[in-house]
Amino acid sequence: MNNIEAGSKKRIVVIFIFFILLLFALFWRMFYLQVVKAEELSQKAYNQQTKNSIISPKRGTIYDKNGVVLAKSVSVETISVTPKNVKNKEKTAEGLSEILGMDYDSILGKVNKTSVEEVIAKKLDKEITDKVREWVKEEKISGINIYEDTKRYYPKGNFLSQVIGFCGTDNQGLEGLEAKYESLLKGVPGRRITSKDATGKDMPIDDVTYIPSEDGTNIYLTIDERIQYIVEKYLSQAMEDNKPVDYGTCIVMNPQNGDILAMATAPDYDPNDPFTITNANDILKWDKYTSAQKTTALQNMWKNKCVADTYEPGSVFKVITSAIAIEEGIITNVDSKDFKCTGSLKVDEWDISCWRTTPHGVQSLRQGLMNSCNPVYMTVALRIGAQKFYSYLSAFGISKSTGSGIIGETSGIIHTLKTASKSSLATAGFGQGFTLTPLNMLNAVCSIANGGKILTPRLVKRIEDGNGNVIENYDTNVVKQVISKETSEKVLELMESVVSDGTGRYAQVKGYNIAGKTSTAEQGRGDSKTYVASFVALAPAENPQVAILFNLYNPRGVNGHQGGGIVAPVVGKVLADILEYLDIPKDYSVKEEENKIVVPNITNKKFDDAKKIITNSGLRYVVENGATDDLVVTATVPKAGESLPEKGVVKIQLEGLTSKKVEVPNVRKQSKENVKDIISKKNLNVKLSGNGVAIFQDPPAGTMVEEGTIISVEFGSNGIDVQ
């Protein structure tokens, strides 16, 4: 009996201990779940009971210096489905496929998934999503979600493309300014939080929480939209006139404050469609390219070659060599005939040739720059000496990053004092044997225009929030005084001589004194040798407000490859338009041409009256076949108010008649009389300037224009040395 009682008591104790342990475990589990894991489980429960939708912020806008929009975000919408809520999956997939123009099977696959939500299409214009809304309402379709979103849009297409860059489908900046200032432009996403049931459906209660998005900041550039337009227009024309040519670059700066007013590379691309190749050679080979080759071609197209590619600058660098020699007192009289060109100079057992086969003979430093004589500048560099020469190059920032902050900016390569030889010093004197970027070269030349100061080039002017509050201003930064004001003024005077009487004569602009320098720089050696045709200019010469460097890389067209012949005339046109736009006073008055007749205003008059007015004014008219006296004039080419010579042509456009165009003929290298005759036969007008043979025409040959269009033709002296 005692044994039985003892056994019972033992079992009771064991059971009691078991229940105590079980109770302890239960309490521990409750403590673990409610205290230790409370935050995590609470979040899981919250996630199961709510639907969290991202509200995309509006990406900041990019403006030019005057507030012209260059990149902005526009409202679009995203369509998704909640598969559990879709009743008729086949009908839903078929309808969306038809409206959106998407693959039916792809949509059906998403509709059949078990996930909470599947995105069907992003970045849709509201015009399309409204069609989806109408279809959903009419057909009583369930499970379709439409959310507001944004996408990046570039209203000017190809304009400034390599500088601005572009965004991916998720609005993330991938190239250019868009990538550089991603953290400022992107903003902060918001959220829309709603309750949902076990099936994922929104609960029919007003339990919605909005966490608003924060829009990105806005960026104002130093770029002037009008100057950029002028540059891109003439760069495109130069590429066309000198093809085949690999590519071209042009930078315009204000040398007084370092502002970049324009920066262009050609060919360019459309950032609204950045994966469509534009280079003609790549287009022809695209289908045969490997994936790696396609990637390389696209990256090359996107690249801002003004800062990402380096080249040997050639003779434009002679202005820097001149500045060093004058600053150091090596040259005290720029007109003293201290040099002699015999066609070459022997340095370190090497015969280094001048660009011209006929020797220049005895020359001063001024004549050496005007004639772009290599032996003169080799001699100057050797007289300066390696130690001083390379120390000045370091001070000018040659072959270094300019500090502009532009994405992709690289540095060039140059000899150091330790690695330099006598021959490398001599060739460096005329800009060969080292490399730099176009921006690096132009920034150094700007010091000649601003009294001898090296500045940091500036592309971004300021950053503002959405309310117009300035977050950050970017002021002019003076790096150092590299030469004296007196030296800079003397070199500026020498550069003016280059344009007035030297190899840069084709860059002359009526009414203005222009300072400049030509260059035809060799790139590579032997069979792989190519050329870069360049022209650098400062205008007006007395107080430069504009600095420009224009490069054509490997031009192989019928007009040759010399910078003075194919680039200087273009720079003259660019400067003429820019100086007029900036309303910079002329240095001297230009006598207006006589015997000009102003085109009368005949718009809205009947053809019978209009043709009499044109004839009586001393002009002649052309009109399309089918013209009758009772038809009304809708427009004229040229427009009313334009000036034409006697017997100039006016194209009368009449209501209901389709206007045909004519092709602009090629008049380059023709005399004035021949040009007049060739253009007149096409029923076009001509505006002539300069003397000699035709060296430049606008619009270029091959352009289709209306009859009556004015063709501007620039003439230059035949036989000028144009290195």
Helix and strand tally (H, E) in the chain? 23, 31
Residue entry with tokens 């009586």? 616
Q: What is the mean pLDDT of each run of 10 residues along the chain (723 residues)?
A: 62 73 73 64 49 71 97 88 86 88 88 84 86 86 83 95 94 95 88 56 54 88 98 96 95 98 97 94 93 96 97 97 98 95 90 89 95 95 97 96 95 92 95 97 98 98 92 95 98 96 92 96 87 97 97 93 94 96 91 77 93 92 90 93 90 89 90 90 89 84 91 74 65
CA–CA dist 189, 167 (Å, integer): 17
| Three-state secondary structure string covering 51-84 | EEEEECCCCCCEECCCCCEEEEEEEEEEEEECHH
The residues near 244 (Cβ < 8 Å, ≥ 6 apart) are 555, 556, 557
Least Cα distance to 503 among 719, 326, 320, 331 occurs for: 719
CATH class of 596-716: alpha beta
CA–CA dist 619, 671 (Å, integer): 24
Q: Do residues 520 and 535 lie in contact, with contact meaning Cβ atoms separated by under 8 Å?
A: no
CA–CA dist 709, 661 (Å, integer): 10
The residues near 645 (Cβ < 8 Å, ≥ 6 apart) are 595, 596, 597, 685
pLDDT the model gives residue 254: 98
pLDDT the model gives residue 700: 86
360 to 368, 374, 499, 620, 717: CA distances (angstroms): 9, 10, 18, 51, 19
**709-720 in b/e burial notation, b at 16+ Cβ within 10 A?**
bbbebbbbeeeb
CA–CA dist 242, 560 (Å, integer): 8
Q: Do residues 539 and 546 lie in contact, with contact meaning Cβ atoms separated by under 8 Å?
A: yes
Residue entry with tokens 């100061």? 453
Strand partners, 71: 62
pTM confidence score = 0.81
Q: Do residues 518 and 498 lie in contact, with contact meaning Cβ atoms separated by under 8 Å?
A: yes
| Three-state secondary structure string covering 638-703 | CCCCCEEECCCEEEEEECCCCCCEEECCCCCCCCHHHHHHHHHCCCCEEEEEECCEEEEEECCCCC
Domain 52-220 has CATH 3.30.70.580: no
CATH class of 314-581: alpha beta
The residues near 369 (Cβ < 8 Å, ≥ 6 apart) are 318, 319, 322, 494, 495, 497, 498, 502, 517
Residue entry with tokens 């043979």? 693
- Dihedral sign from CA coordinates of 582, 588, 589, 590: negative
Q: Do residues 56 and 167 lie in contact, with contact meaning Cβ atoms separated by under 8 Å?
A: no
Strand boundaries in 364-494, DSSP class E: 453-455, 460-464, 470-473, 478-481
How many Cα atoms sit within 13 Å of 210 on the Cβ side?
6
pLDDT the model gives residue 50: 44
